[in-house]
Amino acid sequence: MTRWVPRSRLAPQLAVIDPRRAARLTRLHRDEDFQRGVLGGVLVSHLVRRAVHGAQEILQFGTGAFGKPYLLLYPGLHFNLSHSGDWVVGAVSSSAVGIDVEEIRPIDFDIARRFFARREYDELMQRASADRLDHFFNLWTVKESYIKMHGHGLSQPLDAFAVYLSESKNINFFEGDRLIDGVVASVSDALDRHKLALCTLGRSEFEGLEIIPMDHLL
């Protein structure tokens, strides 16, 4: 997503979105929130229909114990959405999946002290100042995608686990000194001025990044 479009152009897309979600979107006052919400719904519909080879029904969603939505008709298919700045991103997988995108912008590193595990904060602050912002967003997006993969929301604080990124961008997760097995994660600089991270549980099936122009999606 790189530009704003009139609500009148987006309104017809509400027909392919779960009616309850569509009703919530129509109550949004900010045009940018409405646009991101509509495009997210259309993107999920597009990705799911492709994954199940062209199903035409309107997708309907249930909600898990911590508020994460799931597909009622395709419970074995997992999805997740994120948006920031100019981008709306989504992922669909046969295992639990989380995705996060963040616009890279100046921040107060006190945020890291408050929300990161101690080992993450110490390692971040030991980096050269020129590398610190980039590494902060590597960590932040990976941690957010991990939490979103599990679907525990705010009940799983960011400092309850630690992320270690090697220089080759291999990613490991720790609870204290215990290595967390079974998580496959990736972080990317492919989107201009944004970080993108993806986590899946129990298997590796990354097929790469596909950029869909907004006009094509609509």
Please report, in angstroms and rounded to a whole number, the separation of the first and last CA atoms in the chain: 11
Q: How far apart are CA 214 and CA 218, in angstroms?
A: 6
Tell me the pLDDT tens digit for each residue of 90-144.
Answer: 999 999 999 999 999 999 999 999 999 999 999 999 999 999 999 999 999 999 9
Please name which of 161, 158, 162, 145 lies closest in space to residue 97, comparing C-alpha atoms: 145
| Per-residue pLDDT, 17 | 86
Q: What is the pLDDT of residue 203?
A: 65
| DSSP classification of residue 192 | T
Cα separation of 170 and 53, whole Å? 33
**Top-confidence residue, 61 or 65:** 61
For residue 204, pLDDT over 70 is answered with: no
Q: Which domains are delineated in the chain?
A: 7-217 (3.90.470.20)
Q: What pLDDT, on the 0 to 100 scale, is given for residue 20?
A: 85
Residue 56's pLDDT band, with cuts at 50, 70 and 90, is low
> What's this model's pTM, rounded to 2 decimal places?
0.91
pLDDT category, 68, cuts 50, 70, 90? confident
Give the integer Cα–Cα distance in Å for 185 and 165: 10
Residue 134 CA to residue 147 CA, distance in Å, equals 20
pLDDT of amino acid 66: 80
Q: What is the pLDDT of residue 60?
A: 83
Phi, psi dihedral angles at 109 (to 5 degrees): -70, -5
